[in-house]
Structures are given as structure tokens and as C-alpha cells.
Amino acid sequence: MENLYHLYQIDSFTKEKLAGNPAGVITNADGLSDLQMQRIARELNNSETAFLFKPENDTYDMQVRFFTPTKEVPICGHATIAAHYANAMEKHLGTTRVLQKTGAGILPVDIVRENDDYKIIMTQGKIEISDALSAKAQQSLIKALNITQQDIMEEYPIAIASTGHSKVMLAIKDVNLLHRLQPNMDALSKLSDEIGCNGYYVFTMNPNETPMIHGRMFAPAIGINEDPVTGNANGPLGAYLVHYGLVNHNGALLTFYVIQGEAIGRAGTMEVQVKIKDNQPTEVKIVGNVVIAFSTELLL
């Protein structure tokens, strides 16, 4: 027996169609097998596709699973934003909070209705910040990115940060160099196996400007050579900046804006909010707008 699934292609962190970060979304995924979800994600060929399921108990409102073209991942920022936008539009929700069960735990998502549209605020998962990578791993990363030691902002540790899905943070001095980067994807994939982290977030820092961050994110180990605009890179980045004392804040909250995707013609922006206690990050939220590029039905 075939079932009919509601399929969306949604551009996150933008209100311009065919910009920002595209995500596939199926809002009624109950009945799909793991193999079918993986094949759908491969067919759509976005960095992630989100699948929404009804809850199994009353501790959460929905389950969301995320697949890259090659594997399932625990959480995804832009696909979360996209999934909850599609769900809100289908159900004509007002301003509300939804609890989503993910591979990174049960996390709240705030739906804010504004002028017949929605803004989505995702609270991210457990904050984990590592010490700096080993000297050997740092040199392998620098070589894989085809840059030099002189290009790096030395006061910014090259370290892994996570709010549910880890990324290596690496700050460089020049935004023009950022846009010219041509990494060796095979070398990055090999390094991912060695350090246990599949993504690399390379960014520039401009504390007195808006947006404060320009970034690029590479994750070839999970089938994503470059992700346009990455919630699960910029959220951890906020926690990393606070943890290492790299940015001024008021002691309670750090808010900043990011632009990503410029180098590949899919620029998008987001707001990052980091709650702070005793000069350490305690909670990370990302705020984004989205636009539906198209919707259709899938019969399987």
C-alpha cells in the first residue's frame, strides 16, 4: 500500500527564494523506513532533510530525524528551522513553543507569528567545548585548507565546539581569503576520522561590525562539501567565543549576527543568542527566517 507524503523544499536563514540554506522537509513521515528516508535525502541532495513524526508519548510534541545524502545526523539547525516553519504553516499555528525529540535530546523550538508569517527560534543542545586540537591535527587542518599559519588568528584556539553536532572552529584574518578557500576535501574527510568531528567552520571576526561573523562550513565526511548557512556551526561558535573569552558581553547575554554562504552564491543570515553565567555559556539559541521554495507530494 502506497502512502502520500507532504514534501517541501525550504530555504532557511533568508526570505529570498533560492538563497540561504535549502532543506528538504517531510511533515508526515510516519510509516517511512530508515532506508526510504535515506533515499529521499539522497534524491533531494540537500545538506539535510528533516522528517517529522508524531510523538510516542506526552513528553514531547514531535520527533524530528535528520538525514544528509549519506547518513543520519543527530541534529541540524537550518533543517530544524525549516521543519518547524512548514509545520506551523500547515497547522496555522499562533505564537507557541514546540518540544522536538531529536538525536541531541528533547529541545524547545519557539514559533513566533509575525504579520502572517513566522520566525523560528531554536534552542540548541548541550554545550561542549574542547581544548585546542593537537599540533599535528592543527597542521593537518591548515594544510587541508590550503592556508598558512600566518593566515590564522593566533589568539583563537583551533578547537571543537558542539551544541549537539560538533564542528572545529578556526578563525582566519582575511575575509577575502575566506571567500577564496579551496580545501582538499579528501584530506578533511581523513582528518575527521582521526579527530572524531565531521565539520570545519572557518570564520572571520569583526567585533565592531554587523554582521560580526563571516563564515564557511565544510563537512565532506558526511557528504557535505560545503554547507551554505549552518545553525549547528554558528550556535557552537557563540558558545566557543564566550568560553574562551574572545568577545565582549554584558555578563548575561551575547547576541550577534552571522552571514554565511557568500562564496557559493547562497548567502543567508542568522541571529545567535548565548546566555551566560560566570563568564561561561549556558544556553544557545539561533533565530532565523525561512521561505518555501516549493512544495509537492511524494507517493511511496
CA distance 225 to 165: 16
Conformational region of residue 251, where left means phi above 0, alpha means psi within -120 to 50, and beta covers everything else? left
How many CB atoms sit inside 10 A of residue 198's CB?
Answer: 24
Annotated catalytic residue 48? yes
Strands 49-53 and 72-73: unpaired
Residue owning grid cell 551566560: 276
Contacts of 295 (CB under 8 A, 6+ apart): 6, 7, 8, 9, 86
Conformational region of residue 164, where left means phi above 0, alpha means psi within -120 to 50, and beta covers everything else? left
Among the listed residues 48, 56, 72, 194, the single catalytic one is 48
State the cell numbers at 177: 581569503
Query: Which of 86, 98, 32, 96 lies closest to 62, judged by CA?
Result: 98
Let me know: does 119 contact 112? Beta carbons within 8 Å.
yes
Query: Catalytic positions, please?
Result: 48
